[in-house]
């Protein structure tokens, strides 16, 4: 089976289902997108690795894994989303140490969070993309990780569907009443307190206004 390389287009938060985020992967040499519903912690970890605008004062779980792997000369070479069963994606992390390759089973969100930190490529098989890939209209002149309103509407429907991982509750605090200055101050405070769930929600509100 042929492998298809994927890039991360962005992360969208569900407005109707608390704790649900959609990770959007984009086909490198094509137009299809692969949406995967993930939990709040994993979404925050991926967002931090993508944007690098939130600097945790202490290592997150995926940062700890990266530090541990670096210390013992373990390299993550690539991540492969290799199976889709009953709406759940399964992934493998391809590692190497002392020129010996190992394959480790992992949740897709964890595997991608690590791939970002190791700058490792992400792949899936063509048959999975044929089955679960969708076409989303991309708005012009938007940043790589931005998701258009049209895409968000489609993603919102998918979040309530089957292509998912288990999700956990997230903050439903309303940040719309605060100014940009207040939000930035709250963001700094949330990061200082290691409240990354709140920090991610604040960062989302700031991004909406930019």
pLDDT in tens, 117-133: 999 999 999 999 999 88
Q: What's the confidence (pLDDT) of residue 174?
A: 78
Cβ–Cβ < 8 Å for 47, 53: no
Which neighbouring-strand residues pair with 102?
95
51-55, 98-102, 129-133, 186-190: segment of lowest average pLDDT: 51-55
Q: What is the mean pLDDT of residues 22-48?
A: 88
pLDDT band at 195 (very low <50, low <70, confident <90, very high): confident
Q: Are 88 and 131 in contact (CB under 8 A)?
A: no
Local structure of residue 138 (DSSP, 8 states) = P
Please tell me the distance from the alpha carbon of residue 190 to that of residue 48, in angstroms, as a whole number: 14
Q: Where are the alpha helices (DSSP H) in 103-148?
A: 108-118, 126-132
pLDDT tens string 124-176: 999 999 998 888 654 444 444 455 665 566 556 555 554 555 433 344 577 88
pLDDT (tens digit, 9 = 90+) per residue, 42-92?
A: 888 898 888 766 677 788 899 999 999 999 999 999 999 999 988 889 999
Average pLDDT (86-114) is 94
Q: Tell me how crowded residue 3 is: count the other CB atoms within 10 A of its CB.
A: 15
Task: Specify the pLDDT at position 206.
Answer: 82
pTM summary value: 0.70
pLDDT score, position 205: 79
- Looking up tokens 């969708």 gives 134
């Amino acid at each position: 089976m042929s492998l298809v390389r994927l890039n991360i287009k962005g992360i969208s938060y569900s407005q109707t289902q608390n704790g649900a985020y959609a990770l959007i992967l984009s086909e490198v040499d094509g137009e299809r997108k692969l949406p995967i519903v993930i939990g709040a912690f994993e979404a925050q970890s991926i967002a931090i690795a993508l944007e690098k605008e939130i600097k945790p004062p202490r290592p997150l779980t995926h940062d700890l894994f990266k530090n541990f792997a670096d210390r013992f000369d373990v390299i993550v070479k690539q991540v492969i989303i290799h199976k889709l069963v009953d709406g759940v994606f399964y992934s493998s992390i391809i590692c190497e140490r002392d020129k010996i390759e190992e394959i480790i089973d992992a949740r897709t969100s964890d595997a991608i969070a690590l791939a970002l930190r190791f700058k490792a490529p992400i792949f899936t098989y063509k048959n999975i993309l044929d089955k679960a890939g969708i076409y989303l209209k991309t708005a012009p002149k938007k940043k790589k990780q931005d998701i258009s309103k049209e895409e968000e509407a489609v993603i919102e429907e998918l979040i309530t569907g089957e292509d998912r991982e288990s999700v956990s509750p997230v903050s439903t605090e309303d940040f719309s009443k605060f100014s940009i200055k207040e939000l930035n101050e709250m963001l700094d405070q949330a990061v200082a307190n290691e409240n990354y769930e709140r920090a991610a929600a604040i960062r989302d509100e700031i991004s909406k206004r930019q």
